[in-house]
């Protein structure tokens, strides 16, 4: 089989339906205000989820019947941005945050072990050539 002509931006693509096309698929086509944009959106979603791939390698020859979902349960992208989800919580008590931020370094820093204390005790400050330990 010869290589198909490469598609370029702005090129018109034709879609032909099958004679045995499920009526719900035809209804979906007819329900779209802009069929090209709807198909483009589906292609973008496929690329986001799976990257670039030849779908023909993953499409089963026999597919199960289509059972439509409930459109009222679907949340549009715009609704998801505008309406906060239940996982977003409002901060009603800023004083709790302030008190949580006032943690002393001793509460955060790990305490040295006994062997680390012995090492620290045995270390002497380095005295430079002139005996100055402050310059370091």
Decide: pTM greater than 0.75. no
* Residue 36, in any domain of the structure: yes
* Residue 35, in any domain of the structure: yes
* Residue 15, in any domain of the structure: no
Instruction: Indicate the average pLDDT of the chain.
Output: 75
* Residue 30, in any domain of the structure: yes
CA nearest to 43, candidates 53, 57, 33: 53
* Residue 48, in any domain of the structure: yes
Q: pLDDT tens digit string along 70-91? A: 776 655 555 655 555 555 555 5
* Residue 31, in any domain of the structure: yes
Angstrom distance (rounded) from CA 136 to CA 130: 12
Tell me the residue range of the domain where 35 lies: 22-60
Residue 116 has pLDDT above 70, yes or no: no
* Residue 136, in any domain of the structure: no
Instruction: Provide the number of structural domains found in the chain.
Output: 1
CA nearest to 75, candidates 84, 65, 67: 84
* Residue 26, in any domain of the structure: yes
């Amino acid at each position: 089989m010869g290589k198909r002509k490469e598609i370029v931006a702005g090129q018109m693509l034709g879609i032909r339906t099958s004679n045995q096309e499920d009526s719900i698929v035809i209804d979906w086509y007819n329900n779209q205000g802009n069929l090209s944009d709807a198909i483009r959106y589906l292609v973008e979603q496929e690329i986001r989820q799976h990257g670039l791939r030849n779908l023909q390698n993953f499409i089963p020859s026999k597919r199960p019947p289509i059972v439509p979902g409930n459109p009222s349960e679907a949340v549009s992208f715009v609704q998801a941005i505008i309406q906060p989800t239940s996982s977003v919580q409002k901060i009603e008590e800023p004083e709790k945050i302030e008190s949580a931020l006032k943690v002393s370094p001793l509460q955060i820093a790990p305490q040295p072990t006994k062997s680390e204390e012995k090492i620290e005790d045995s270390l002497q400050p380095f005295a430079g050539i002139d005996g100055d330990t402050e310059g370091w």
